[in-house]
Amino acid sequence: MRVLITGAAGFLGSHLCELFLSKGHQVIGMDNFITGHARNLAHLAGNPDFTFIRHDVSDFIFVPGHVDAVLHFASPASPNPASPYGYTNLPIQTMKAGALGTHNALGVARANKARFLLASTSEIYGDPQVHPQREDYWGHVDPNGERSVYDEAKRFAEALTMAYHRFHGVETRIVRIFNTYGPRMDLNDGRVVPNFLKQAIEKKPLTVYGDGQQTRSFCYVSDLIDGIYRLLLSDEHNPVNIGNPTENTVMELAEEINRITENPAGIIVKKELRLGHDPQRRRPDITRAKTILGWEPKVSLAEGIQKTIPYFKERMSQDD
């Protein structure tokens, strides 16, 4: 296949480029570097099957030649209000990537009669009142809250994707991505894994916000990318959760990271939450992925954290 991957210089996009190339496909990567980094793609330079186009997906997308698949991963995704790259500090760009970007990427797919895969998110479930979250759950989302620019952009993107499927007959796929971690994560992402790893590597106390009993389900990046690839090749047009169903409290994660890194500094608890409407529970029901894709995660949390630490140490040493 010849595939277009938007958001190619991001955490997930760069791993997708790598996977498709490893399977013998041709890849056109597209990114405007608003949150992505050229270093994530540096190892692909010189690969004759890889082409990069610097472009903002909010503007009309032109790709010379035929493409067989379009994977739309372009969007700010960090919830970190302290980071200039967090979606609360890029609200208009986030909404445009979800709305105009999805529209433009779908246009490429339609023009080429190509398969289209949308990167959606578990955030469309909001602070869920159903647990674990199944794909037929409509969600519990504040459309005006601090997180709404990201949540609603993805919800709109899903609706537009299904409209193109129903009205134009585009072959569409929707993946709802749950918490994912691994090499090439942004160190200032603002989510708990990079926050804790940075503090642990520096032998500082890990900062837990709230009571630490809010839960997340952490999926290692190689497992997620495998699930996305399987979904693209499947015949399933309805949304599919891809994530690890093993649920951990934030406090348990902190304790595990301190154990793995042998960090003696312990944990500090701050009662306030970093961002309003922080979901209290998050766990995917992956029955659909298991049944349709034959997929389930293989990498345990401890193994995944150990695989991620060398990358964080290298990046932190470069930033010093």
pLDDT in tens, 178-190: 999 999 998 888 8
* pLDDT computed for residue 28 by the predictor: 98
Span 300-317, average pLDDT:
95
* pLDDT computed for residue 273 by the predictor: 60
Span 188-199, average pLDDT:
90
pTM metric for this prediction: 0.94
Residues labelled catalytic: 150
Is the preceding peptide bond at 132 cis, omega within 30 degrees of 0?
yes
* pLDDT computed for residue 79 by the predictor: 79
Most confident listed range (18-32, 82-96, 189-203): 18-32
Instruction: Map out the domains of the chain as residue ranges.
Output: 2-182+219-245+284-298
* pLDDT computed for residue 278 by the predictor: 66
pLDDT in tens, 213-260: 888 899 999 999 999 999 999 999 999 999 999 999 999 999 999 999
Residue 88 vs residue 73, higher pLDDT: 73
Euclidean distance between CA atoms 293 and 81, whole angstroms: 36
Q: Which two tokens stand for residue 293?
A: 């894709």
Q: What is the CATH number of domain 2-182+219-245+284-298?
A: 3.40.50.720
pLDDT in tens, 26-55: 999 999 999 999 999 999 999 999 999 999
Residue 80: which pLDDT band, with cuts at 50, 70 and 90?
confident
Task: Please report, as a single letter, which amino acid is at residue 303.
Answer: E
Decide if pLDDT at 146 tops 90.
Answer: no
pLDDT in tens, 251-300: 999 999 999 999 999 999 987 665 555 677 789 999 999 999 999 999 99
